[in-house]
Chain A
Amino acid sequence: MLRYTIRRLVQGVITVWFIATATFLAMHMVPGDPLSGEKATSEQIRANLEAKYGLNQPIGTQYLIYLGNIAKGDLGISFTQKNREVNDIIREHFPVSAALGILAITFAAIGGILLGALTALYRNKWPDAAIMLLVILGISVPSFVFAAFSQLAIVKLNALLGFSLLPVAGWGTVSHMIVPSLVLGLGTMAYLTRLMRSSMLEIVNADYVRTAHAKGLPPTRVFSRHQLRNAILPVVTVLGPAIAAITTGSFVIELVFAIPGLGRYFVQAVQQLDYTVIMGTTVFYGAFLVLMVIIVDLLYGFVDPRVRVD
């Protein structure tokens, strides 16, 4: 187990290095640079700034400095925001995105597993048809549409009640988190529901389920210990990529609901060609996702004893 974990972590570091390199190269191939903004800068100021940020060095040297800094955990200083370190930006805004993401993935996983199991148990009856209709909606309608509609619904609801039950936008309290995380998790939940349904249908008539019935176990126990436990395996497998989809997809939701998350800074940085912020957040996101996938893979061994490594 320890050897496997170490091997996975080393692979993870190599993956992050690839991500860092690709980001660096892509960044320098894009025309323009962070200093060629709308404000005209004199040759002298420009040269001074280039020297300050090391942009006058050969690209190979820049790359080495960049890698060295990442290894030290220093992601540099923002080009466009005065005296702000990328580390500070991440430290300040990532927890917001993470809270939103964790809530969304929890909602998506629990909802997807339960709804998927329900559709399988009521196969071809009305609950199945109703849920699957919603699932198709959830997969095909983009999240910003849901976001806008949910805001509209909140406004109507608050007007109807005469007081503010839920805030329309903003961040700070638990009530701020509920609607955005539901909207953010919706697509993933729809996807997991479909996956869970097919996986459940596959094992509903499995031999070991028949054995469980033949042992005289109550149906609830057959469901929880024998059906759910085995049907959940494929869902756990895709949980890693699902976390990726939710965290990287949170940008739109953060914008619509005015949530001060990291996604907003990321996109802003790309527009302004803020080299250090782009590279810093990309490498950070990359490392985060790689870590999530490793954690899910390690957890998978506990869910399915057949892939447990020793």
Chain B
Amino acid sequence: MTGADAPLLDVADLRVEFDTYGGTVQAVRGVSFSVAAGKTLAIVGESGCGKSVTVQALMGLVPMPPGRITAGSARLRGHEILGTTMLEGRDFRGNEIGMIFQDPMSALNPTMTIGRQIAETLEVHRGWSRARAFARAVELLDMVRIPEAAARARQYPFEFSGGMLQRAMIAMAIACEPAILIADEPTTALDVTIQAQVLDLMADLQNEKSMAIVLITHDLGVVARMADDVAVMYAGQIVEKGSVDDIFYRPAHPYTVGLRAAMPTNADHADHVLRPIPGSPPDLFSPPAGCAYAARCPHAMNICADHDPPPFLPDESGHFGRCWLHHESVAGGLERLRAGAATERSAHE
């Protein structure tokens, strides 16, 4: 193993809880993944599955209290970063890991010019003078394809459109050329044509800088376009992880199959009926003892209710699914699971 093969960021068994008036919510329940340089990892899942909390915990952005990281480790180039924001005496945020957020309209300071907000990162991490950092901020705005960058840098967020703000956010996040860019639903608040521009920009910057991207989304279209690897999260756990082809063509968890089926399609043979997954996610105040998806799963067996499935490897590539259907005693389990993806699932079956 050479140093280049070691993962850039290695997260193991991360657990995050929140104290609320109703009790303790187990928002993240043992999440492990690794991020390789230059690759894009997409974390997919529905609202409340813990995907945002996972990355916010890494970035030290979980408000504590009420939040609490109860277990796990996160190693950036071998250095533990969980529970601290310091790496070798410096704040790694903005420097080693850049982050962009869902709603660019509210994620920028309304009383500071765009250029100053970008320059600030360089001033803090590189110790540059105001003038030098501002000049670089203009270059960065130009790099993210904002026209008349020099004039735009002197404007305030309210003078920008949503798509331009998100590009400015990206410029801010990559100012110090971080090794990893975390994008928390970067296109959710933007309209569709702008979404494509922002995603293309991120992909281009990734190629230029060989930067790793952790992309959080609930949009499988975005996943198909951007991701190398995909982690599917459900109820605070990663239920399936694999390459983007694995997830789309060789799914190993009924939830992934359900997500695929729920994705609207425009194909000729389709009947254009939305197929939601019936039911709702479990209450994370008291997560079920068995598989969290069992209550909504069309293939649920007796064991599913009481025993949490371990990750099963359907092949040797590192692709896994947490589903009892992979157990050797279940005859033809994988075929049953994937059959759900090909044929339309009917509720009364």
Contacts and interface: CB of A to CB of B under 8 A. Distances in A.
B63 to A, nearest CB: 7
Nearest to B184: A214
A213 B95 CA distance: 12
Interface in A101-116: none
A210 B124 contact: no
A303 B94 contact: no
A206 interface: yes
A305 B108 CA distance: 14
A216 B158 contact: no
Contacts of B93: 213-216
A226 B61 contact: no
B177 to A, nearest CB: 14
A215 B121 contact: yes
A206 B61 CA distance: 12
A305 B159 CA distance: 10
A215 B108 contact: no
A204 B26 CA distance: 24
Contacts of B99: 214
Nearest to B121: A215
A208 B108 contact: yes
A50 B120 CA distance: 71
Interface stretch (B37-45, B109-117, B326-334): B109-117
B112 A211 contact: no
A230 B111 contact: yes
A217 B175 CA distance: 13
Chain A at the B interface: SS class = helix
B59 interface: yes
A232 to B, nearest CB: 9
A212 B156 CA distance: 16
A82 interface: no
Contacts of B95: 216
Interface string B148-184: 0000000010100000000001001000000000000
A206 B74 CA distance: 26
B24 interface: no
A303 B103 contact: no
Given A214-B93, A214-B94, A216-B93, A221 B124 contact: yes
B101 A229 contact: no
B106 interface: yes
Given A215-B120, A303-B111, A208 B106 contact: yes
B200 interface: no
Contacts of A205: 63
B124 A214 contact: no
Contacts of A233: 111
A208 B116 CA distance: 14
A39 interface: no
Interface string A13-56: 00000000000000000000000000000000000000000000
Nearest to A211: B107
Interface string A269-310: 000000000000000000000000000000000011110000
A205 B107 CA distance: 11
Contacts of B111: 229-230, 233, 303-305
Contacts of B60: 213
Contact of A305 (B61, B94, B158): B158
A218 B124 CA distance: 8
A168 to B, nearest CB: 45
A22 to B, nearest CB: 39
Contacts of A91: none
Contacts of A305: 110-111, 156, 158
Contact of B107 (A207, A230, A303, A306): A207
A84 interface: no
22 contacts: A207-B106, A208-B106, A208-B109, A210-B61, A210-B101, A211-B109, A211-B169, A213-B60, A214-B94, A214-B101, A215-B120, A215-B124, A216-B124, A216-B125, A217-B91, A218-B91, A218-B124, A225-B112, A225-B120, A226-B109, A230-B111, A233-B111
Given A230-B109, A303-B111, 12 more contacts: A207-B101, A208-B108, A210-B61, A214-B59, A214-B93, A214-B99, A215-B120, A216-B93, A216-B125, A218-B124, A225-B120, A229-B112
